[in-house]
Amino acid sequence: MTALWIALLIACLGSYGLKLAGMSLPESVLNHPRVQRVAAFLPVAMLSALVAVELFDGGGGRYAVDWRTLAGVAAGVVALLLRRGLLVVFLVAIGVTALLRLVT
């Protein structure tokens, strides 16, 4: 078994374990204000870090930007500003990126 498979299975079972823990732990633990604040901030910090890394990491420790991806994501932000739903944001972002890649 490869390291990738082992890490993948740990991550899968751990993810399920987190869901199960939320339904099983005493509520007092999860309702602790400090714990709740950290938990609320966790996806905010990590999702924005993921966005930044997806857009600016060129691999091998170098920065790189593909302006077509950037333009597609920016078009998605415009859709968000126009209060469109997830599906529209998703389609606009990949559509604009694919189109720019086709014509450039």
Partner 1 sequence: MSQPTDAAQPVLPQRGAILRAAVGIGLYAGAFAVTFGAVSVGSGLSVAQTMVLSLVMFTGASQFAFIGVVAAGGAPFAAASAALLLGVRNAFYGVPVSEILHPRGARRWLTAHFVIDETTAMAIGQPTQAAKRYAFWATGLILCSLWQLGTLIGALVGRAIDPADFGLDAAAPAVYLALLWPNLNRTETRVVAVAGALLAVALIPIAPPGLPVVAAAAVAVVAGLRRARP
63 to 102, contacts with partner 1 by CB under 8 A? 63, 66, 68-69, 72-73, 76-77, 80, 85-87, 89-99, 101
Q: How far apart are CA 79 and CA 82, in angstroms?
A: 5
| Cβ 66 vs Cβ 56: under 8 Å | no
Residue 104 binds to partner 1 (criterion: CB under 8 A): no
Residues between 16 and 45 that touch partner 1 (CB under 8 A): 16, 18-25, 27, 30-31, 33-34, 36-45
Distances (CA, A) of 7 to 15, 18, 61: 12, 16, 23
Nearest approach in angstroms of CB 66 to partner 1 is 7
Q: How far apart are CA 12 and CA 4, in angstroms?
A: 12
Per CB under 8 A, the list member of 54, 65, 67, 82 interacting with partner 1 is 54
